[in-house]
Amino acid sequence: MVAKGLRIVLAERDAPTRKMLAGWLGELGHSVTALTNGWQLDSRCRRECPDLVISDLQGRGLDGLAATARLREFCKAPVILISGSWSPEQSERASKIGAQILLKPIFPLDLVVTLASVTRLDSRKRTMPSTLDSAPALVAVADHVIITLDPTGRVTSWNDAATRTLGHCANDVIGRPWGELKVSENGQFLDASCDAPIEIDGWLTRADGAHIWANGSVVRLPGPGGYGAIFRDRTAEKARQATIEARIARLERADKNYCTFLATLAHEMRNQMGPLLNAAQLVKARADDSAMREIGERLERSVRHLSREVEDLLEVGRVAQGKVRLNLRPLELATVIRQAVDLVGAQLDAAGHELSMHIPDGLAPIDGDGDRLMQVLVNLLVNAIKYTPSRGKISVTVEADDRRATVCIADSGIGMSAEQLDGVFDIFTQSDRALPRSQGGLGIGLALVKELVHLHGGEVAAASDGIDQGSQFRISLPIKTGTP
């Protein structure tokens, strides 16, 4: 556990990098004085020698190497030089004056491991500068395991989190080869040929034989070399992830079973529609009085309505199972709209609604499946008719640009609340304010509209100003590719 942070002087000419490093170091619990060049660094350190110096290798005026050489005249604080590139000559000079080079881009794990490496006491009890005698280890995040090893793979530092997480005491492991600890499955998670960070994401073995899931990285250390590993015990998170994945798998199976059930149910219901329709027509044809004929007509209307619902249910099942294939061809959108209006003409007249259409001339053709788009438009028009009280107003307007054509079907009906709008395209969702439940349908139509429009590469949206303020449904479809 860290008692206090270090006093760090940071000299970096690049403002974003300086701000980023100062922020990370501050989060680790250290006190940072941020400067912009080597001369400021020299002046600051002459007034008070810090616990650690981090400097830009290629600083203006007085670069990092020159500043470190001057620093060594009066201060023995460890130095880390940061740079996007370096030469063998610079590396040799840095080593001679006791500085390590950290390459950009810098990641938080690289920084933490390098900080630990420049202040560690290895198994040979290497003497560190006196300014660090009272300073804590630079590992400020208590639950992060940080281990450093020399170039031969022997452990040179082992923090408290490593003892808690892996079960080995520092006194028992420092100086021993990493492979002897049998922590990782292959005895070694280090790759001496790789200079880039190596990801740790897998099972490790504790001293008592228990397994933990670790997540972090291993980096090559600058200067004298070796390795630094930093990771956290993610066993609990791994267990939660496994639980979530199992739940997702169960939901996917349930969804598949749900689609299969709907398809089977719809097929079974459709098989009964033919006999029921024949019976209704027979009752109507053989009725001896007007009352019986009316009963026959009502039966016929109900059976035809139920047949449409069953067909929509079958379509939703086919879409969900990926069985719907569009027959795309160039279509005149205005023609498809007028045909859809003709199909619902009797229902419009029966409800006494006023329909207006505004379709501009010269619309570019769209790529579409005429039958499927007819389903979409008829469903939206029937929806507007059902949820608009008698003698209401319904409008169909078209807008287009060089990429998309948008059809808007608006009504003066019962409208929708914000809550209803959120789930309006969900299957089995419908308003319960317009019609008796027996006449309102199953709430399949808009779910089918959404799926068919998406199959065309289009978008669908609903809007309403609120209850009794009417509704608008907009479908946007791509213009045929290559249309001038």
Q: Is 85 part of a structural domain of the chain? A: yes
Which of helix, strand or coil describes residue 73? coil
Provide the Cα torsion 453, 454, 459, 462; round to 10°: 70
Last residue of a domain, one of 211, 233, 255: 233
Query: Any bridge partners for residue 356, and if so which?
Result: 395
Q: Is the pTM of this model over 0.95?
A: no
CA gap 64, 10 in Å, rounded: 11
CA gap 196, 27 in Å, rounded: 25
Helix (H) / strand (E) element for 190: namely none
Query: What pLDDT score was predicted for residue 157?
Result: 85
Q: Is 126 part of a structural domain of the chain? A: no
Helices 370-386 and 445-455: angle between axes, nearest 10 degrees: 150
Q: Say if CB 214 and CB 200 are below 8 A apart.
A: yes
Can you read off the two tokens belonging to residue 204? 């490790």
Residues 50 and 151 in one domain: no
Residues 436 and 352 in one domain: yes
SS (H, E, C) 49-63: CCCEEEEECCCCCCC
SS (H, E, C) 372-410: HHHHHHHHHHHHHHHCCCCCCEEEEEEEECCCEEEEEEE
Count of domains forming the chain: 4
Q: Is 116 part of a structural domain of the chain? A: no
Query: Any bridge partners for residue 100, and if so which?
Result: 80
Residues 365 and 457 in one domain: yes
Q: Is 58 part of a structural domain of the chain? A: yes
CA gap 295, 300 in Å, rounded: 9
- Look up the domain containing 180 and give its range: 142-233
DSSP code at position 194: -
pLDDT tens by residue, the chain, 484 residues: 333 578 999 988 888 888 888 888 887 778 899 998 888 888 889 888 898 999 888 766 778 888 888 888 888 888 888 887 767 777 778 878 878 777 777 766 667 767 766 655 332 333 333 222 323 333 445 578 888 888 888 888 888 888 999 999 988 898 888 888 888 765 445 554 455 567 778 888 999 999 999 887 787 776 566 778 888 888 988 888 888 888 888 888 877 777 777 777 776 777 778 788 888 888 888 877 888 888 888 888 788 777 777 777 777 767 766 777 888 899 999 999 999 999 899 889 989 999 999 999 888 899 899 988 998 999 899 999 989 999 999 999 999 988 899 999 999 999 999 888 888 887 666 555 444 433 445 567 788 899 899 999 999 999 999 999 999 999 999 987 655 5
Provide DSSP, 318-372: HHHTT------EEE-HHHHHHHHHHHTHHHHHHHT-EEEEE--TTPPPEEE-HHH
Residues 336 and 434 in one domain: yes
Q: Say if CB 310 and CB 270 are below 8 A apart.
A: yes
Residues 279 and 402 in one domain: no
- Residue indicated by tokens 């040929």: 193
104 burial (CB, 10 Å; 0-12 / 13-18 / 19+) is: middle
For residue 462, which of 371, 356, 391, 379 has the smallest C-alpha distance?
Answer: 379
Q: Is 287 part of a structural domain of the chain? A: yes
Residues 310 and 348 in one domain: no
Number of residues in the chain: 484
CA gap 38, 72 in Å, rounded: 14
The CATH number of the domain holding residue 366 is 3.30.565.10
End-to-end CA distance of the chain: 71
Residues 335 and 432 in one domain: yes
Q: Left, alpha or beta for 81 (phi > 0: left; psi -120 to 50: alpha)?
A: beta
Q: Is 120 part of a structural domain of the chain? A: no
Radius of gyration for the chain, computed over Cα atoms and rounded to the nearest angstrom: 37
The CATH number of the domain holding residue 282 is 1.10.287
Residues 344 and 416 in one domain: yes
Residues 310 and 335 in one domain: no
Q: Is 194 part of a structural domain of the chain? A: yes
The CATH number of the domain holding residue 33 is 3.40.50.2300
Which of helix, strand or coil describes residue 267? helix
Alpha helices in 201-289 (DSSP H): 235-286
CA gap 216, 198 in Å, rounded: 9
Residues 460 and 334 in one domain: yes
Can you read off the two tokens belonging to residue 244? 């979530």
Residues 350 and 393 in one domain: yes
Q: Is 132 part of a structural domain of the chain? A: no
Query: What pLDDT score was predicted for residue 474?
Result: 95
Question: At 172, phi and psi to the nearest 5?
Answer: -85, -20
Last residue of a domain, one of 175, 202, 233: 233
The CATH number of the domain holding residue 186 is 3.30.450.20
Residues 369 and 433 in one domain: yes
Last residue of a domain, one of 175, 198, 233: 233
Q: Say if CB 41 and CB 67 are below 8 A apart.
A: yes
